[in-house]
């Protein structure tokens, strides 16, 4: 009997302690601001967007949630740039020796198209505006598509074997898809910023 009573008291104490700890954790959690993170797989660090209450208000005086992107300090942090840069290196290696190096016109064209992709990404990134960045990413997508066509031309003319062609073509396709995904993301971000009016500075009292 005594053992049963002590066991019941111990279980009640454990439940009470767990309840108090749960209430404390709930109170702590309610104090913290709620954040919703949306990740995009096309970037190495996965560009994160934090949705929270901003100081911007609409006409009814209600707070409007605003998307604030995590800053990417260097273009080399983007996966699409990394894939395009690796493709450029592979193209340089392909055209430095063998039959591809003897056709000067083909060599210059495929080198220029592969190098144009990374150059357009870097130029658009330095504008620090989503709309401008998306515009230059579109140019980069076109350059990567041209590189894919040049690779097919080289394969038809027996300048590279089937294994190397598939390797380079898959790399070019991965870079093009990653660049397209980033371009669409920047276009949506630019459209969101265009619809959201900028807050007016507070007027000084005279």
* Element counts in the chain: helices (H) and strands (E): 6, 3
Q: In this structure, is residue 55 part of a structural domain? A: no
Spatial contact of 95 and 139, defined as CB atoms under 8 Å apart: no
User: Is residue 14 in a domain?
Assistant: no
The mean predicted confidence, pLDDT, of the chain is: 76
- The answer as to whether 102 is a domain residue is yes
The model's confidence at residue 13, banded by pLDDT at 50, 70 and 90, is low
State residue 69 phi and psi, 5-degree precision: -75, 145
More confident residue, 51 or 193: 193
Domain for residue 90, yes or no? yes
- Greater model confidence, 9 or 72: 72
Q: Report whether 119 contacts 147 (CB < 8 A).
A: no
| Boundaries of domain holding 99 | 75-194
What are 19-29's pLDDT values in tens digits?
445 554 554 44
Residue 129's CATH number: 1.20.1440.60
Q: What is the pLDDT of residues 172-187, one digit of tens each?
A: 999 999 999 999 999 9
Q: What is the pLDDT of residue 125?
A: 94
Taking the C-alpha atoms of residue 204 and residue 6, their distance in angstroms, rounded to an integer, is 71
Kindly compute the dihedral angle of the four CA atoms of residues 162, 165, 170, 175, in this order, to the nearest 10 degrees. Answer: 180
- How many distinct structural domains can be found in the chain? 1
Does residue 184 fall inside a structural domain? yes
Q: Where is pLDDT greater, at 151 or 57?
A: 151
pLDDT digits (tens, 9 = 90+) for 92-137: 999 999 999 999 999 999 999 999 999 999 999 999 999 999 999 9
Strand-by-strand arrangement of the 36-39 sheet: 36-39, 48-57, 63-69
Classify residue 130: in a domain, yes or no.
yes
Position 172 in a domain: yes
Is position 123 within any domain? yes
pLDDT 10s digits, 27-77: 444 444 444 343 444 444 444 433 333 344 444 444 444 444 456 788 999
- pLDDT value for 70: 53
Count of C-beta atoms within a 10 Å radius of residue 206? 3
């Amino acid at each position: 009997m005594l053992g049963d009573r002590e066991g019941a008291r111990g279980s009640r104490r454990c439940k009470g302690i767990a309840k108090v700890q749960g209430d404390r954790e709930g109170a702590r959690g309610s104090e913290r601001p709620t954040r919703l993170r949306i990740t995009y797989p096309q970037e190495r660090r996965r560009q994160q967007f934090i949705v929270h209450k901003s100081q911007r208000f609409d006409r009814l005086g209600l707070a409007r949630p605003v998307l604030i992107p995590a800053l990417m300090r260097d273009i080399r942090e983007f996966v699409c740039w990394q894939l395009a840069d690796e493709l450029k290196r592979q193209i340089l290696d392909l055209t430095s020796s063998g039959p591809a190096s003897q056709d000067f016109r083909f060599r210059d064209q495929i080198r220029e198209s592969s190098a144009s992709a990374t150059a357009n990404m870097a130029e658009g990134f330095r504008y620090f505006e989503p709309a401008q960045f998306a515009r230059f990413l579109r140019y980069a997508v076109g350059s990567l598509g041209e590189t894919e066509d040049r690779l097919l031309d080289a394969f038809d003319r027996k300048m590279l074997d089937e294994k190397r062609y598939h390797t380079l073509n898959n790399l070019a396709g991965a870079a093009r898809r990653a660049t397209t995904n980033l371009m669409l993301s920047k276009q949506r971000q630019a459209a969101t910023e265009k619809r959201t009016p900028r807050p007016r500075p507070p007027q000084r009292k005279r």
